[in-house]
Amino acid sequence: MKKLLLMLGCLVMVVGCSCSNDKAADAVEKYLNDYKGLSDNVLQDIDDLVENESLTDKGKETYKEVLKRQYRDLIYTIDNEDYDGDTADVTVKITVYDLYKAQKNASEYLNSHQDEFLTDGEYDNDLYMDYKLEQMKNINDTVSYNIVFHVTKTDGKWYVEQPSDEVLEKIHGVYNYDED
């Protein structure tokens, strides 16, 4: 699921921001506001992503709710802009739901309660995925990250460069901070 969220981030990006803006931070704000506002592109990418998941119909609807809530409730502040000619680094503090924690807790729960995810004596992945998605849907714990977006000016317009996988994981709330 983590890789699929990253793919969604890549799709949503639409190679930065092609709006006219005077500052690099404007491009970053546009990028993040597309998530928060659930732009048409974001909604289409969510639909495409979820349709390719092997989840029950209920699971697909729950997954869509999780993604929409995560993006809609994302909080950010622009902390700094550092310019070097036609390139800039824009530092942003974001706060998102801690979906990594929800997934980790669901996995730990599975390990200690395997009998709850059996159907006719066999492990039932659909039961586990429904449980995991419900945990993700209902988590209220948040996590904050400082992210540096690299922005380039081309033909008088600022564009957000493709964020790294780590940055996308942080935006999506699935970054494994236990490895830091």
Can you give the pLDDT at residue 5?
52
Tokens found for residue 22: 């005077």
Q: Which residue is listed with tokens 């310019």? A: 83
Can you give the pLDDT at residue 17?
43
Can you give the pLDDT at residue 163?
93
Q: d(Cα 47, Cα 65) in Å, to the nearest integer? A: 11
Can you give the pLDDT at residue 179?
84
Question: In tens digits, what is the pLDDT along the chain, a chain of 180 residues?
Answer: 655 454 455 444 444 444 455 899 999 999 999 999 999 998 998 999 899 999 999 999 999 999 999 999 999 999 999 999 999 999 999 999 999 999 999 999 999 999 999 999 999 999 999 999 999 999 999 999 999 999 999 999 999 999 999 999 999 999 999 987
Can you give the pLDDT at residue 49?
85
Tokens found for residue 132: 């995991």
- Note the pTM of the prediction, 2 decimals: 0.86
Q: d(Cα 56, Cα 178) in Å, to the nearest integer? A: 30
Longest dimension (CA), the chain: 65
Angular region, 158: left φ>0, alpha ψ -120 to 50, beta rest: beta
